[in-house]
Structure 1
């Protein structure tokens, strides 16, 4: 295979040629991208001034394609940025109409955008809405939490929410299906004292729904816990009309944790242990498992001794 050998001068000329070629190509790219060029991007719709007397439901997607009069650089950067921008649409005309023409609000929308991001067209240009009766409903708040406590510290009582209910407003067909409303997730770590904080409600996803209030106060009582041992009498269930029933032992020893602030007051009356004779009559059990039917919220059982008790029935 023939090998072309170039002199030092020829190599310099060839290197200069390719350098000029690359620079010319780069200059051409910069010139092309700097020229004005309309391009299309997808943007999200946000609504304001929603009708107060008419419930509505959009009949199309919550995004539209908009044509922007920018440069090639703007188009390139818009392709690189996958996050959709938002356009705020005024819905005050829905009080008397069932549609909104986006181009009629173009000047208002562009006044809030940068000069190199001006919109020249919408697709679709007209948004249509379906209307139904509007309804208001009061629903309970459901707290979503992810709380971690320091060692030996736990929640020592029920969480208090203020307010415990929120008001939702929207189409009756949608409102009737809603039974509660969730908060955002309350995330706390290494907690060793009671907490009072504000937490946002999860936002509405439909443009035809409204929610009040947008946030609530959550109060979580926290206390240090320690172990305590009590002997709890066992009550026999379903023992009527079968004669005399004796159980062994008559009490079980329960080991549990409780908050320090309530340690002294917690006694056997706070618990109820039962053994069900139906397990013997219907299933032939030889021993009966002990079940605790009443336990304070701020107590957590660790161990029950014994778990099963013996019994004698004298008919």
Structure 2
């Protein structure tokens, strides 16, 4: 195979030619990308100035194709620039119409955008909406939690949520199905102190629902738990014939868990232990099992001694 041998002068000339060619290509590319082009990008639609007297439901997708005018450089980076951007549509005209023309708002849309690309058209240009009567309803907040407590710690009292109710407004047929409104999930691990924080409410999935407020304050009392034992008198229930019943023993030892903060104040008046006489009359029991039917909130019975009691029916 023939090998072309170049002299030193020819190699220098070839090097200069290739260098000039590369510079010319970069100059052409730079000039081309500096020119103005029209290109299409997808934009998410958000709404502002919602009508106060009419509930609405969009009849099209929440994205539109925006025709953008910008340089070639902007076209190259358009996906990156527009990935987290949206078009804000003013809905004040829906008080009297069932559609909004985006083209009539392009000046305001471009003025509100925080990038330099100018939107010159949108497809679809007109958004249509379905309407129904708008009503207002209050529903309780439903707290969503995923809390892992440290060993021997747990919730020790009722959770406080402020406000306890939220106000939602929207179509009557949708609000009729809503009984509560959930929060975002509170996540915590190995927790051993009270939780205090502000948690956001889940945003509506429907564009025609409005919720006030957007967040609530939450307090979850948390305390260390320990065991305590008290002697509780046993009460006979279902003594329909008013028989004279004597039980042995008359009191049972109830062991339960309680928070340290409430430990000193809990006494036998907070409990009720019962034995059901119907178990003897209907089932022939010779001894009656004892059940604790009342105890302080957030306490748990761990042991009853004895678990069954003897009894005598006096004639």
TM category (shorter chain) comes to 0.7 to 0.9
2:129: which partner in 1? 129
| 2:171 counterpart of 1:165 | no
* TM value normalised by structure 2: 0.77
SS of structure 2 residue aligned to 1:120: strand
Partner Cα distance (2:133, 2:117) in 1: 39
Question: More displaced, 177-186 or 216-225?
Answer: 216-225
**Gap regions ≥5 residues in structure 1:** none
What per-residue deviation string (whole Å, max 9, x for no partner) do you get for residues 242-279 of structure 1? 98878776655433221222212212332334455667
Deviation per residue, 1:187-211 (Å, 9 max, x gap): 3455444344332222233232222
Establish whether residue 42 from structure 1 lines up as the match of residue 32 from structure 2.
no
Counterparts of 1:7 and 1:39, CA distance in 2: 48
Q: Spell out the pairing of 1:51-66 with structure 2 (5 A cutoff).
A: 51-66=51-66
**CA separation in 2, counterparts of 1:21 and 1:282?**
107
1:207 is aligned to: 207
Which residues of 2 match residues 227-238 of structure 1 at below 5 A? 227-235=227-235, 237-238=237-238
266 and 35 in structure 1: CA distance in 2 versus 1, 3 angstrom threshold:
same
SS in 2 for 1:108: helix
Map of 1:186 onto structure 2:
186
- Alpha-carbon distance in structure 1 between the residues aligned to 2:299 and 2:195: 19
1:50 deviation in Å?
0.9
Aligned residue in 1 for 2:138:
138
In the superposition, the TM-score normalised over structure 1's length comes to: 0.77
Cα separation, 1, equivalents of 2:238 and 2:20: 100
Q: Which piece of structure 1 moves more, 34-43 or 137-146?
A: 34-43
CA contact (8 A) 1:248 1:309 kept: no
SS of the equivalent of 1:133 reads strand
TM-aligned CA distance change 1:7 to 1:169, over 3 Å: same
CA shift digits 1:285-306 (9 cap, x unpaired): 89876544323223233x2246
> In 2, are the aligned partners of 1:43 and 1:65 still within 8 Å (CA)?
yes
Q: Which moved more, 1:165-174 or 1:81-90?
A: 81-90
**Shift, 1:166, TM fit:** 1.4
Unpaired stretches in structure 2, ≥5 consecutive residues: none
Match of 1:304 in 2: 303
Change (3 A) 1:211 1:114: closer
Tell me the SS of whatever aligns to 1:104. Answer: helix
Residues 253 and 306, structure 2, Cα contact 8 Å, conserved in 1: no
Aligned to 1:60, the other structure's residue is in SS state coil
The answer to whether the 8 A contact 2:58-2:128 is kept is yes
User: Judging changes above 3 Å, is the alpha-carbon distance between structure 1 residues 279 and 80 closer, same or farther for their aligned structure 2 residues?
Assistant: farther
Tell me how large the CA RMSD over aligned residues is: 4.1
- Determine the structure 1 residue equivalent to 2:87: 87
For these two proteins, the number of residue pairs brought into alignment is 309
The more displaced of 268-277 and 173-182 is: 268-277
Contact 1:167/1:212, CA 8 A, preserved across alignment: yes
Question: Where does 1:198-277 land on structure 2 (aligned, <5 Å)?
Answer: 198-235=198-235, 237-238=237-238, 240=240, 252-274=252-274
Deviation of 1:103 (Å): 0.7
Alpha-carbon distance in structure 2 between the residues aligned to 1:239 and 1:103: 82
Kindly indicate whether the alpha-carbon contact (under 8 Å) linking 1:252 and 1:304 is maintained by their aligned counterparts in 2: no
CA distance in 2, matches of 1:29, 1:245: 104
Alpha-carbon contact 2:135-2:172 (below 8 Å) kept: yes
SS in 1 for 2:77: helix
Question: 1:193 and 1:180 mapped to 2: Cα distance?
Answer: 28
Contact 1:141–1:182 (CA<8 Å) still a contact in 2? Answer: yes
1:73–1:251 Cα change, 3 Å: farther
